[in-house]
Amino acid sequence: MDVDERRGEVLRAIVEEHIQTAQPVSSQAVARSAGLGVSSATVRNDMTALERDGYLTQPHTSAGRIPTDRGYRYFVDRFADPTAVRGLHGEQQRAVSEFFRGAHAALEDLLHETSGLLARITRHAAVVVGPPTESARVRRVDLVLLQPGQVLAIAVLSNGAVEREMLTVDPDLSSEQVATAEQALAAALVDATLQVPPAPRPSGDPAADGLAGTAHLALHRRAEASHDPLYVGGASRIAAEQEAFATARSAATLLELLEQQVVVVSLVRDLLDQGVSVSIGSEHRIDELRDCSLVLAPYTIEGEVAGTVGVLGPTRMDYQQALAAVATVSAQLGNLLSR
Amino acid sequence: MDVDERRGEVLRAIVEEHIQTAQPVSSQAVARSAGLGVSSATVRNDMTALERDGYLTQPHTSAGRIPTDRGYRYFVDRFADPTAVRGLHGEQQRAVSEFFRGAHAALEDLLHETSGLLARITRHAAVVVGPPTESARVRRVDLVLLQPGQVLAIAVLSNGAVEREMLTVDPDLSSEQVATAEQALAAALVDATLQVPPAPRPSGDPAADGLAGTAHLALHRRAEASHDPLYVGGASRIAAEQEAFATARSAATLLELLEQQVVVVSLVRDLLDQGVSVSIGSEHRIDELRDCSLVLAPYTIEGEVAGTVGVLGPTRMDYQQALAAVATVSAQLGNLLSR
DNA sequence: GGTTGGCAGTCGGTACACTCGACTGCCAGC
DNA sequence: GCTGGCAGTCGAGTGTACCGACTGCCAACC
């Protein structure tokens, strides 16, 4: 085994040990556990070299070393095998297949529950980004007169999502007029996308036309304005992983970020076309995520990339397992949504 | 001012001071700030009496005193005026009325956004419980054939909520058969509640009848099984309020509790018929909520109690402001939903 | 050149003693 | 019943000493 190879093994041992213990790793521990057949002094030399090259850092002089983001990056690129399912225990695999066997919810609920599943098996926070509403075609349009002056506009999309918007209308509008408007709206939207801008719709009844126009505009606006849907599962894990964060405050701001959704969605979108990917600590430009890693896997519906599932944990996380989890879950989710 | 009255004022001063500073309050601080015209020695005597009666406690001998749950209870009962809006700053009031002026979302979204509003103005976590699905009547039923073998069943309820369920069916089922089933289902459900159990529905087409039955059963089951909808806003505040919790772990378990929803829903339901209510620390039997208080106000739709809005914060919270916030928000929300 | 054992040096953590300051409790006097 | 004063208690902060766990370096060895 030549020097470079051994240094890789030393780094690997340090990462694995540190993931397990959350403590700085000493040269002795590596020499003892890694089975390299060299003394701790040699390991020490390698460790100084690895630190010089930016893979390791020392919290303080008389302590062991911990991996830097760059160290994790090397570890993931070199040692983590995204195709290996072996990272998953039997129990976890069972949970996944059981979940997808029993799944029969509408799209939104399904994606939400999927985030919960992923959080459960990885014991970290999980995110699921749904298929963009823009791309889906309208299958059905409803205008429901809930009570005088109040109409609920509903668009059922081909992917099973449902867009809703409440409209306040003239209280004198009759249910027949609403029905007329519904037909007009259906004519304009069914089999189209919500991207289609509203157009004048001359028919017999101007009030009905008005309602159809309003409803179209409202649904159109909503589809325009809304970012891709994001579902977060197991956010409470972030609070439980407090120790990983520099300050108690940063865990709170991270949770806030997840609540606001939009930042996370754009981050995930940016990484979407890279296939299974890992983004470590300072690699993503969002400061609040400095102490976190994001392990993502896109899922496809009938061959098209539709969305992403991901795990959000501290940089000190079990990448092997997270990769295995997102890989299997995304595959199964894509399967389910394709058939 | 007689002794009992003064002791009340001492307690009040301690609670108010402690809410502000989060520190144990000393006799000197009370004597100085409360304007009682007595010396700190007298206050000390009152404080020992208040401690004997269980309203105060001492973290350690050489420290000031902090209120017990019982102390907060007395404070709330005696000094907090739920009808007073004065607890709210102008800025907060403006946020509330602006929010409700601009609101035009479907029920679920509206309630969710309301929880966000309440969290924003109180700077604590907020919960909103929606109207129970059981009571609402069905206004519209859709069976949408998304793709061969996959039907989405949708029920639009009179309160603007939308129940959805995905059904896997015979891939050979034609869209005409789905339409027939939709009509049969509509006949059974429209103007009824989802409580109505499925009944055999003999018509021309057994396949359509089968689908109608399956869809009915699925929607019925979902309505049965699902608890009242709960919307949580500002959960990140809980992480920010860490100091209020005994251990870092307990903040995480509290967040988990909110994710699971069911416990919180039943707790809130139990307190629903008490009008505006405050539940302090150990008063609610749920151990995870030992360090929290819950300030609730039910909202009514057309005179009927429909749900609840609430603030969940540390026992050391500004009850006056929380009460004012939930009172105005619940009133406005009820207003909006009634018209 | 790479590897090794040994040894000095560095630093965090803990234990202890001490002081300071902020309270309370109590009591005698008003 | 209130008050001022005083003793007592305890937490928090500080300085010191010490132990233990590392690393860094070096001379020796293969």
Q: Which nucleotide's C1' atom has the smallest distance to the CA of B44?
A: C24
* B161-186 pLDDT tens trace: 999 999 988 999 999 999 999 999 99
Q: Exposed (0-12), middle (13-18) or buried (19+): which is A255, by Cβ within 10 Å? A: buried
Mean pLDDT of A91-115: 92
Reduced to 3 states (helix: H, G, I; strand: E, B; else coil), residue A268 is: helix
The pLDDT mean for chain A works out to: 90
Query: Among A3, A52, A8, which residue's Cα sits nearest to residue A30?
Result: A8
pLDDT of residue A103: 84
Minimum-distance CB partner of A166 among B104, B139, B239? B104
Tell me the pLDDT of chain B averaged across its residues.
90
pLDDT in tens, B202-232: 667 788 888 999 999 999 988 888 888 999 9
Q: Is the pLDDT of residue A209 over 90?
A: no
- Cβ pair A229, A120 in contact under 8 A: no
Report whether CATH 3.30.450.40 matches the domain A90-132+228-338: yes
Q: Which nucleotide is nearest to B45 (CA to C1')?
A: C25
Q: Which pLDDT does position B144 carry in this prediction?
A: 95
Domains A3-79 and A134-225 share a fold: no
Residue A203 has a pLDDT of: 64
Q: Report the distance separating Cα B312 and Cα B294, nearest Å.
A: 5
CA pair distance B206, B177, nearest whole angstrom:
9
Footprint of strand C on the protein (CB under 7 A): A 3, 6, 37-42, 45, 60-63; B 26-29, 40-41, 44, 47-48, 51, 58, 61-65
Closest chain B residue to the Cα of A249, Cα to Cα: B240
For chain D, which bases have at least one atom within 7 A of a protein Cβ?
1-5, 8-11, 20-26
Which pLDDT score is estimated for B293? 95
Crossing angle, helix A175-189 and helix A206-225, to 10 degrees?
50
The mean pLDDT value for A32-39 works out to: 85
Res. B83: pLDDT tops 80 = no
Over residues A245-286, the pLDDT tens digits come to: 877 778 899 999 999 999 999 999 888 888 899 999 999 888
E strand or H helix at A264: helix A262-270
Compute the nearest-CA separation of B236 from chain A (Å): 5
- Look at residue B87 and tell me whether its pLDDT is greater than 90: no
The per-residue pLDDT for A106 is 87
Q: Is the per-residue pLDDT at B191 higher than 80? A: yes
The nucleotide whose C1' lies nearest the CA of B25 is C23
* Whether A229 contacts A108, CB under 8 Å: yes
- pLDDT band, very low/low/confident/very high, at B77 (cuts 50, 70, 90): very high
pLDDT at A85: 63
Multiple choice CATH, B3-79, 1.10.1370.30, 1.10.10.10, 3.40.50.150, 2.60.120.590: 1.10.10.10
Q: Mean pLDDT check: name the lowest of B75-89, B147-161, B294-308.
A: B75-89
User: Residue range B248-264: average pLDDT?
Assistant: 90
Please state, in angstroms and as integers, the Cα–Cα distance from residue B37 to each residue in A252, B31, B34, B41, B204, following that order.
43, 7, 8, 12, 89
| Six token digits for residue A248 | 């108690």
Q: Which residue of A has its CA nearest to B257?
A: A236
Task: Give the percent of chain B with pLDDT over 70.
Answer: 97
In this structure, of A79-88, A315-324, B270-279, the range with the lowest mean pLDDT score is A79-88
The domain segmentation of chain A, as residue ranges, is: 3-79, 90-132+228-338, 134-225
Ranges of beta strands (E only) in chain A are 56-57, 66-67, 125-129, 138-147, 150-157, 162-168, 230-233, 277-280, 292-301, 304-314
Contact list in A for residue B248 (CB cut-off 8 A) is 239-240, 242-243, 248
- Is the CB of residue A103 less than 8 Å from the CB of residue A336? yes
Q: How confident is the model at residue A124 (pLDDT cuts 50, 70, 90)?
A: very high
Measured in angstroms, the CA of A34 and the nearest CA of chain B are apart by 33
Average pLDDT over residues B277-299: 92
Q: In chain A, what residues touch B162 (CB-CB under 8 Å)?
A: 152, 154, 162, 164
Sequence-separated (6 or more) residues with CB below 8 Å from residue A212: A143, A181, A182, A184, A185, A188, A201
| pLDDT at site A200 | 67
At the top level of CATH, which class does the domain A134-225 belong to? alpha beta
Please determine, for residue B243, whether its predicted confidence score (pLDDT) is greater than 80: no
Give B95→chain A minimum CA distance, Å.
Answer: 18
Cα of A78 vs its chain's centroid, Å: 24
Looking at the complex, report in whole angstroms how far the Cα of residue A165 sits from the nearest Cα belonging to chain B: 5
How many Cβ pairs closer than 8 A exist between chain A and B? 125
Contact A156, A139 (CB under 8 A): yes
For residue B106, pLDDT over 90 is answered with: no
